[in-house]
Amino acid sequence: MAKRRVNPNVVKLNRNYDTTQLATCCGVHKNTVLNWRTAGLEPIDSSKPILFHGSVVREFLKQRNAKRKQPCGPGKLYCFSCREPRRPALGFVEYVLVTQKGGNLKAFCETCETVMHRKIRRADLEAKMPGVEVQFADRQLRLIGTLLPP
């Protein structure tokens, strides 16, 4: 299962934290902080108790989050429930135009049926959503649609 991402900004830049304080501040278990050390988070020095400087922690978390970013591949949207990119259920997405050039895709997660969103430029639609049925939900189009005979 994917681990929760910690917001680096909860760490104060000019503060020192011991392991317990850092865990509390970030809302994680102490063991997570120990894992961070193994993963390269440097303490101020080797004296005990081990202290971490806020600015170092923040930089570490930022880099860690960046590494974990999962860009959505073609035909996928990020599902916040599954915490990974998923295909739309039934290969069907709705595209709501926000501007002339871009808008938001909306679809249901194939796995858990959570609503997923993805910002996308209209010009990129075919390249990024190959083999997916896109229904345009532009307000204007809808209005025009109602004027057409059935």
* Residues binding Zn ion (CB under 5 A): 79, 81-82, 109, 111-112, 114
- Any idea what DSSP says for residue 98? S
Taking the complex as a whole, the smallest distance from the CB of residue 118 to Zn ion amounts, in Å, to 13
> Of 8 and 91, which CB lies nearer to Zn ion in the complex structure?
91
Distance (Å, rounded) from C-alpha 127 to C-alpha 74?
7
- In the complex, the smallest distance separating the C-beta of residue 39 from Zn ion, rounded to whole angstroms, is 27
Shortest Å distance, C-beta 84 to Zn ion: 8
Q: Smallest Cα–Cα separation from 53: which of 62, 63, 42?
A: 42
d(C-alpha 124, C-alpha 93), whole Å: 14
3-state SS string for 1-62:
CCCCCCCHHHCCCCCEEEHHHHHHHHCCCHHHHHHHHHCCCCCCCCCCCCEEEHHHHHHHHH
Which CB sits closer to Zn ion, 83 or 122?
Answer: 83
Closer to Zn ion by CB, 35 or 81: give it.
81
CB of 1 to Zn ion, least distance (A): 13
Q: What is the closest distance, in whole angstroms, from the C-beta atom of residue 76 to Zn ion in the complex?
A: 11
Identity of the residue, 72 or 82, whose beta carbon is nearer to Zn ion in the bound complex: 82
Query: What count of other Cβ atoms lies within 10 Å of the Cβ of residue 104?
Result: 16
Distance CA 82, CA 40 (A): 28
Nearer to Zn ion, 109 or 120 (CB): 109
